[in-house]
């Protein structure tokens, strides 16, 4: 190995050791993202609401062992997204919940699993697609 290459490698290692370590934990990037598992984002046809599925959150219907509840963030006047809020028991139950899509006119939302109009969880849990207007 040449002398120059040895000097270069030594300087490179010294530089790398002087860099601060990166935090490997989850960090909150903005008002929507969290350290919980978030997936399946859907923006409403009017562009004003962001729906997504969040699992493992203590506010989910099934608490931290819940496979995923629907959460929503509203767009602020400046174009940023507001703090995410749980969509409630009417759209969520202790199983996996999610937004599949919207009708063309934006008046109907299609949900993974079932819609419980009373929000009491008494409906029959059936896999499939439900709709809410």
pLDDT digits (tens, 9 = 90+) for 103-113: 989 899 898 87
Residue 25 lies in a domain: no
Please tell me the total count of domains within the chain: 1
**Cβ neighbourhood burial of 28 (10 Å; 0-12, 13-18, 19+):** exposed
Residue 124 Cα to chain centre, angstroms? 26
In a domain, residue 2? The reply is: no
Look at residue 110 and tell me if it is in a domain.
yes
pTM: 0.69
In this structure, is residue 7 part of a structural domain? no
Determine, yes or no, domain membership for 47: yes
**Residue 126 has what pLDDT?**
59
């Amino acid at each position: 190995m040449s002398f120059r290459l040895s000097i270069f490698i030594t300087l490179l290692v010294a530089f790398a050791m002087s860099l601060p370590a990166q935090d490997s934990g989850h960090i909150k990037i903005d008002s929507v993202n969290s350290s919980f598992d978030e997936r399946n984002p859907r923006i409403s046809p009017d562009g004003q609401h962001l729906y997504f599925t969040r699992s493992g959150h203590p506010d989910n219907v099934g608490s931290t062992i819940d496979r995923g509840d629907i959460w929503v963030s509203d767009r602020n006047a400046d174009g940023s997204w507001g703090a995410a809020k749980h969509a409630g028991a009417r759209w969520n139950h202790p199983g996996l919940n999610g937004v599949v899509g919207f009708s063309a006119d934006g008046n109907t939302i299609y949900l993974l699993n079932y819609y419980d109009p009373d929000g009491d969880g008494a409906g029959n849990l059936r896999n499939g697609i439900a709709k809410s207007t």
